[in-house]
C-alpha cells in the first residue's frame, strides 16, 4: 500500500507546480557550469524531485482535476528537460569558443609595487602634511641664479665648479639641490609659507655604494613674521620621531650652510642599536640625517622680502639615505638597477 504521507493534496500539487513554473527556467538560465546544472537536474527531475512526487500523487485526485494537473505537470517536465538540454549545449559551446580548459590552473597577474624611494618620499610628505606643509614641485634644469646666487653661494664657491655641477650647453645647469624651489616659490608668493619640495638632484659624483650622479632630496621651508629657531627644533623633533619612532633622541650640531644662519646638522639616535653603537652608526649611537637652519637674511633679500619683517627656517635631507637607514640597504645603486628581486621586497 502507498504511504499516504508521500501523497500530495490537490492544493499542494498546485503550489508545487506554481513554484516550478515561476522559478525553474530562471534558475537553469543562471547556471554557469556543468556541476551546478547537474545539481539542478537532480533537484527538478530526479527520483525524489517534487515533480516526481506530483506525478505519483495524481492518482489520488478527482478525474477532472487529475486530467488538467497531469497535463500541466507533464508539460512542465518537458520544459525543464528541454531547458537543461539547451543549457548543457550552450556551456559546451562557450567552452569550445573560448578554447578554455577549465581544469587548468588560473593565470596569475603580477601586481606592481611602489618603488622604495617613492614610498619614502610619500611617507615623509605625509608627516609634513599633518603640520600643514604644502608639497611643491620645481624644474630640474635651472639657472646659476636659482641654484647658487639667490642661495647666497658666492661666485668663487667650489660647488659652482664644473666638477661639482652638471652644466648644460646653454649655460644652465641640472639643479644640484632642491633649494631652488624655495627661491622660486618665495619670488612668486608672500609669507606665510610652509612648503616641502621633494625631487631629483644631480651631481657629477663617481657612482659607488654610497654615491650616485642623481639622487633625491626633500627640502622644507617655513616663513612668516615670527618663526624662530625654536619652531625649527619643534618641527624637526616632531618629524624625526614620527619617522624613526617616538622614543628617538635628537641632537643638533653647529654647522655651516651658505643659505642659513645659524645652521645645524641634525642627528637622530640610532634606532638599530638603540644608541648603543653598531656598524650602521659607526659605533657612535647617532645617525646624521639632515641639515637645517634659520634662513639667511641675504636669501630673503634675493627674493625681495624685507629681512627685518620676515623670518623662517629651512631644512633638507637625502631621501636615499633615509630609505637605506630604514630598510638596512647598504648600496645606493640597488635603487636604480630595476632588479625586481630587490624591488619586490618592498611589496
Tell me how crowded residue 233 is: count the other CB atoms within 10 A of its CB.
Answer: 16
Cα–Cα distances in angstroms (integers) from residue 193 to residues 103, 177, 183, 311, in the given order: 62, 19, 12, 11
Taking CB under 5 A as the criterion, the residue among 243, 281, 325, 332 binding Zn ion is 281
Cβ of residue 102: shortest distance to Zn ion, in angstroms?
Answer: 56
Taking CB under 5 A as the criterion, the residue among 95, 273, 298, 343 binding Zn ion is 273
Per CB under 5 A, the segment of 75-83, 269-277, 299-307, 319-327 that binds Zn ion is 269-277
Query: Binding-site residue total for Zn ion (CB under 5 A)?
Result: 5
Residue 287 makes CB contacts below 8 A (sequence gap 6+) with: 267, 268, 269, 270, 271, 280, 281, 325
**Interaction mask 221-260, Zn ion, x per CB under 5 A:** ----------------------------------------
Give the nearer residue to Zn ion in terms of CB position, either 233 or 284. 284
- Alpha carbon dihedral 27, 30, 34, 39, in 10-degree steps, equals -20
**DSSP-derived secondary structure letter, 224:** E
Residue 229 makes CB contacts below 8 A (sequence gap 6+) with: 262, 294, 313
Per CB under 5 A, the segment of 79-87, 142-150, 281-289, 291-299 that binds Zn ion is 281-289
Q: 128: burial class by Cβ within 10 Å (0-12, 13-18, 19+)?
A: buried
Give the nearer residue to Zn ion in terms of CB position, either 12 or 272. 272
Cβ of residue 306: shortest distance to Zn ion, in angstroms?
Answer: 45
Q: Does 289 bind Zn ion (CB under 5 A)?
A: no
Short-list 108, 75, 116, 94, CA closest to 37: 94
Cβ of residue 207: shortest distance to Zn ion, in angstroms?
Answer: 26
Cβ of residue 332: shortest distance to Zn ion, in angstroms?
Answer: 19
Q: Does 270 bind Zn ion (CB under 5 A)?
A: yes
Cβ of residue 272: shortest distance to Zn ion, in angstroms?
Answer: 5
Per CB under 5 A, the segment of 5-13, 135-143, 277-285, 308-316 that binds Zn ion is 277-285
Per CB under 5 A, the segment of 252-260, 268-276, 309-317, 319-327 that binds Zn ion is 268-276
Short-list 344, 335, 336, 339, CA closest to 111: 344
Q: Does 290 bind Zn ion (CB under 5 A)?
A: no
Give the nearer residue to Zn ion in terms of CB position, either 273 or 298. 273
Short-list 241, 247, 221, CA closest to 314: 221
Query: Which residue pairs from 22-27 have beta carbons closer than 8 angstroms and sit at least 24 positions apart in sequence?
Result: 24/76, 24/79, 24/80, 24/83, 25/79, 25/80, 25/83
Per CB under 5 A, the segment of 55-63, 166-174, 228-236, 271-279 that binds Zn ion is 271-279
Report helix, strand or coil for 336. coil
Taking CB under 5 A as the criterion, the residue among 125, 214, 278, 334 binding Zn ion is 278
**Which spans of this chain sit near Zn ion (rule: CB under 5 A)?**
270, 272-273, 278, 281
Amino acid at each position: 500500500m502507498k504511504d499516504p504521507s508521500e501523497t500530495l493534496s490537490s492544493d499542494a500539487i498546485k503550489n508545487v507546480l506554481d513554484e516550478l513554473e515561476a522559478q525553474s527556467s530562471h534558475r537553469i538560465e543562471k547556471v554557469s557550469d556543468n556541476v551546478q546544472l547537474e545539481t539542478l537536474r537532480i533537484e527538478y527531475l530526479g527520483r525524489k524531485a517534487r515533480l516526481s512526487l506530483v506525478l505519483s500523487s495524481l492518482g489520488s485526485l478527482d478525474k477532472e482535476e487529475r486530467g488538467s494537473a497531469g497535463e500541466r505537470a507533464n508539460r512542465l517536465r518537458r520544459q525543464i528537460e528541454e531547458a537543461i538540454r539547451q543549457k548543457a549545449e550552450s556551456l559546451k559551446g562557450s567552452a569550445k569558443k573560448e578554447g578554455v580548459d577549465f581544469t587548468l590552473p588560473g593565470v596569475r597577474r603580477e601586481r606592481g609595487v611602489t618603488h622604495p624611494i617613492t614610498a619614502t618620499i610619500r611617507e615623509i610628505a605625509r608627516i609634513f602634511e599633518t603640520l600643514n606643509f604644502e608639497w611643491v614641485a620645481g624644474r630640474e634644469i635651472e639657472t646659476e641664479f636659482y641654484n647658487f646666487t639667490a642661495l647666497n653661494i658666492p661666485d668663487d664657491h667650489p660647488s659652482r665648479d664644473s666638477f661639482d655641477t652638471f652644466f648644460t650647453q646653454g649655460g644652465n645647469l641640472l639643479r644640484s639641490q632642491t633649494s631652488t624651489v624655495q627661491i622660486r616659490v618665495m619670488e612668486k608668493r608672500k609669507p606665510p609659507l610652509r612648503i616641502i619640495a621633494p625631487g631629483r638632484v644631480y651631481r657629477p659624483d663617481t657612482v659607488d655604494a654610497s654615491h650616485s650622479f642623481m639622487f633625491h632630496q626633500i627640502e622644507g621651508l617655513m616663513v612668516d613674521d615670527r618663526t624662530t629657531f625654536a619652531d625649527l627644533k619643534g618641527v624637526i623633533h616632531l618629524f624625526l620621531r614620527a619617522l624613526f619612532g617616538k622614543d628617538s633622541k635628537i641632537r643638533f650640531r653647529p654647522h655651516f650652510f651658505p643659505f642659513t644662519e645659524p645652521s645645524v646638522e641634525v642627528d637622530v639616535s640610532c634606532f638599530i642599536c638603540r644608541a648603543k653603537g653598531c656598524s650602521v652608526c659607526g659605533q657612535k649611537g647617532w645617525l646624521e640625517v639632515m641639515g637645517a637652519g634659520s634662513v639667511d637674511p641675504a636669501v630673503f633679500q634675493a627674493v625681495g622680502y624685507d629681512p627685518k619683517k620676515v623670518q623662517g627656517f629651512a631644512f633638507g635631507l637625502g631621501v636615499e639615505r633615509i630609505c637605506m637607514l630604514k630598510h638596512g640597504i647598504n648600496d645606493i645603486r640597488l635603487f636604480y638597477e630595476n632588479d625586481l628581486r630587490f624591488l619586490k621586497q618592498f611589496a
